[in-house]
C-alpha cells in the first residue's frame, strides 16, 4: 500500500507551506487525484490520519477531488472522455491520444490557521522574510 | 495582502495608539498546485543527473512477482555482458537471493532493503547509488518490487520503464492494471515457451490491451528458456544506450514516456513554485 508513502510526502509539503505562512494549524487540505495517478483516494483517506498524527495538520479535513479522464487525439484533434483502460479517441478510435486530465496527483489548496501577528514577533518576521515587504 | 501567495494576511496590526493588537486567529486559503510527490520527483531528477553525468542508461523493470525479471536480467547479462558494463539495483524482496543470482554472473548488484515497502522510491535508489561505482557502468537496471500497482507512481530517475507480463498471468492484465502498463516504454511478454500449453493467452490481445491505453510502446515476446526474443530485447537496449550517448553529447536527458504530474505542472506554471 503505497498510499501511506504518498501521505508522508503530502505531510511534508503541508508542513512546509504551513511553516512558510507561520500557520498555527491546518484546517483543510484539498487534493486532486485522477484515476490514472495510480493512487486510490479511499486508501489515501484511510492512511492520512496515520501520517498526520501529532502534526500541524492532525485535525485537518482531507478533501479529495476526483478528476475525469479526458484525452486529446493527435490524429483528428478531438477531445473526448475516456476510461482508465480505454484511452482511445472516441471520435475516430485512434490510439495516438494524449491524456489531458485524469492523471493528477496534486495538492491544490490548503486552509491555514494563522495568528494575526504583530510586527515584532518571530512569526511576523518570518512571514515578511518569505513574502517580502507588504 | 501578500502578493506572492494571495493569502490575505495583512500585517497592519500596530494600532494608532502605538500598542500592538492582540493576536487573533484567522484562516487563509493558500493555493499550492504542486505534485504530491514533489520531494520524490526532486530526488529522482538528481538521480537522473547522476546517471547522465556518468553516461549511464537506467532502465526500471516492473512486473508482478515471478514474471521473470531476475531471470531476464541473468539472460541479458549473458547476452550483453561483454559489450556493455551492466549493474543491477535489486528491490525485489528483502532477501539477498536475487542480488546473489545476479552477482554469480560477475555483475555488481546492490540489494535495497525495502522492508515491507511495495515499491522503490527515489531515495532508496539514491542510497543504492552510493554503493555503486557509476563510472564503471554503462547500463543500470533497477529491478523494482514485484507489484503491478505501486511502483508506477514513483519516479526513480530512470530513463526508461519496461513492464513484463508473463504468459501464465493472462492477457487481460494491461486492462486490469492500466497505470503500470501505460507507464511502459516497452512491454515484454515473458515465458513465451509456455504459450503452447496456455492457448488461452493471446499475444495479440495483450498488445491490443496495451494499445487501448493509448500507448505506442512496442510489445515483444521473450523466453529465457528457449532464448526466443532475446535478440530483439538486446537490440532495443543497444538502441536505447546509443540514444543515451547522443543525448549526453548534446546535454539533454529523457524520462519515461508517461510524465508524473508534478513535472508537467511545473512546466505549465513556468516553475512558479520551485
Ligand atoms: N518457463 C519459463 N519460466 C521462466 C521464464 N522466466 C522466468 N521463469 C521462471 O519463473 C520463476 C520466477 O522468475 P524470476 O526471474 O525469479 O521472477 P521475478 O520475481 O520477476 O524476478 C522462476 O522459477 C523462473 O525460472 C521463462 O522464460 N520461461
Ligand atoms: Mg526477482
Ligand atoms: Zn502499495
Ligand atoms: Zn481522433
Ranges in chain A annotated CATH 3.30.2320.50: 2-67+102-131
- Mutate one of B11, B24, B36, B41 to test the A interface: name it (highest A CB count within 10 A): B36
Asked if A113 lies within 8 A of B26 by C-beta distance, the reply is: yes
Rg for chain B, CA atoms, rounded: 23
Ordered per-residue pLDDT tens for chain A, 134 residues: 689 999 999 999 999 999 999 999 999 999 999 999 999 999 999 999 999 999 999 999 999 999 899 999 999 999 999 999 999 999 999 999 999 999 999 999 999 998 765 555 565 565 556 555 44
Range with lowest mean pLDDT among B17-26, B81-90, B93-102: B17-26
Pairwise CB contact (< 8 Å): A119 & B14: yes
User: What is the distance in A from the centroid of ligand 2 to the CA of B254?
Assistant: 26
Q: How far apart are CA B154 and CA B125, in angstroms?
A: 11
Of B5, B149, B265, the CB nearest to A131: B5
The domain of B63 spans: 55-258
Q: Is the pLDDT of residue B17 over 60?
A: no
Give the three cell numbers for residue B33: 498546485
Q: Is B147 in the pocket of ligand 1 (CB under 6 A)?
A: no
Q: pTM of the predicted model, to two decimals?
A: 0.85
**What is the reported pLDDT for B204?**
97
Percent composition of chain B: helix, strand, coil (DSSP 3-state, to 5): 40, 15, 45
Q: Which residues have C-beta under 5 Å from ligand 3, the single-atom ion?
A: A 1-2; B 118, 150
User: Number of folded domains in chain B?
Assistant: 1
Is residue B156 situated within a structural domain? Answer: yes
CATH number (domain holding residue B130):
3.40.50.300
Classify residue B19: in a domain, yes or no. Answer: no
**Does B163 fall in a domain?**
yes
For ligand 1, atom 7, name the residue with the nearest CA. Answer: B68
The CA distance from A122 to the nearest CA of chain B, in Å, is 13
Dump pLDDT digits (tens) for B35-66: 888 889 999 999 999 999 999 999 999 999 99
Residue from B60, B62, B64, B71 to probe ligand 1 pocket by mutation (most atoms less than 8 Å from CB): B71
Residue B67, ligand 1, Cβ within 6 A: yes
* SS3 state at B206: helix
Whether B216 is covered by a domain: the verdict is yes
Subunit contact B21:A12, Cβ cutoff 8 A: no
| Residue A81 contacts B, CB cutoff 8 Å | no
User: Which class is domain A2-67+102-131?
Assistant: alpha beta
CA of B96 from ligand 1 middle (Å) equals 17
CB-CB contact of B175 with A85 (8 Å): yes
ipTM of the complex: 0.79
Residue with cell 539514491: B126
- Taking contacts as CB-CB distances below 8 angstroms, the residues of chain A near B117 are 2, 5
First-to-last alpha carbon distance for chain B, in angstroms, is 22
Amino acid at each position: 500500500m503505497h498510499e501511506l508513502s504518498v501521505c508522508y510526502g503530502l505531510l511534508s509539503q503541508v508542513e512546509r507551506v504551513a511553516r512558510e505562512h507561520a500557520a498555527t494549524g491546518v484546517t483543510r487540505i484539498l487534493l486532486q487525484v485522477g484515476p490514472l495517478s495510480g493512487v486510490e483516494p479511499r486508501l489515501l483517506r484511510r492512511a492520512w490520519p496515520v501520517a498526520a498524527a501529532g502534526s500541524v495538520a492532525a485535525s485537518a479535513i482531507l478533501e479529495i477531488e476526483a478528476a475525469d479522464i479526458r484525452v486529446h487525439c493527435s490524429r483528428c484533434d478531438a477531445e473526448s472522455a475516456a476510461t482508465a483502460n480505454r484511452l482511445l479517441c472516441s471520435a475516430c478510435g485512434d490510439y495516438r491520444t494524449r491524456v489531458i486530465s485524469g492523471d493528477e496527483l496534486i495538492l491544490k489548496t490548503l486552509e491555514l490557521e494563522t495568528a494575526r501577528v504583530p510586527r515584532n514577533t518571530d512569526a511576523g518576521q518570518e512571514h515578511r522574510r518569505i513574502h517580502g515587504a507588504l | 495582502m501578500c502578493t506572492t501567495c494571495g493569502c490575505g494576511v495583512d500585517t497592519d496590526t500596530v494600532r494608532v495608539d502605538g500598542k500592538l493588537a492582540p493576536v487573533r486567529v484567522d484562516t487563509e486559503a493558500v493555493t499550492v498546485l504542486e505534485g504530491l510527490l514533489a520531494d520524490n520527483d526532486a530526488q529522482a531528477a538528481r538521480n537522473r543527473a547522476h546517471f547522465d553525468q556518468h553516461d549511464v542508461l537506467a532502465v526500471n523493470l516492473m512486473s508482478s512477482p515471478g514474471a521473470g525479471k531476475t531471470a531476464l536480467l541473468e539472460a541479458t547479462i549473458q547476452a550483453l555482458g561483454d559489450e556493455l558494463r551492466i549493474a543491477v539495483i535489486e528491490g525485489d524482496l528483502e532477501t539477498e537471493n536475487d542480488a546473489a543470482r545476479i552477482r554469480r554472473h560477475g555483475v555488481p548488484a546492490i540489494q535495497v532493503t525495502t522492508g515491507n515497502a511495495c515499491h522503490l522510491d527515489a531515495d532508496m535508489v539514491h542510497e543504492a547509488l552510493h554503493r555503486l561505482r557509476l563510472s564503471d557502468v554503462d547500463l543500470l537496471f533497477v529491478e523494482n518490487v514485484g507489484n503491478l500497482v505501486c511502483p508506477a507512481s514513483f519516479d526513480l530517475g530512470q530513463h526508461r520503464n519496461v513492464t513484463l507480463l508473463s504468459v501464465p498471468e493472462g492477457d487481460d492484465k494491461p486492462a486490469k492494471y492500466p497505470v503500470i502498463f501505460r507507464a511502459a516504454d516497452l512491454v515484454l511478454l515473458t515465458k513465451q515457451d509456455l504459450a503452447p500449453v496456455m492457448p488461452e493467452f493471446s499475444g495479440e490481445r495483450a498488445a491490443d490491451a496495451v494499445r487501448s491505453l493509448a500507448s505506442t510502446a512496442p510489445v515483444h515476446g521473450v523466453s529465457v528458456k528457449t532464448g526466443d526474443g532475446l535478440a530483439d530485447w538486446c537490440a532495443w537496449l543497444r538502441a536505447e544506450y546509443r540514444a543515451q550517448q547522443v543525448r549526453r553529447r548534446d546535454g539533454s536527458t529523457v524520462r519515461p514516456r508517461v510524465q508524473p504530474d508534478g513535472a508537467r505542472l511545473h512546466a505549465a506554471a513556468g516553475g512558479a513554485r520551485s
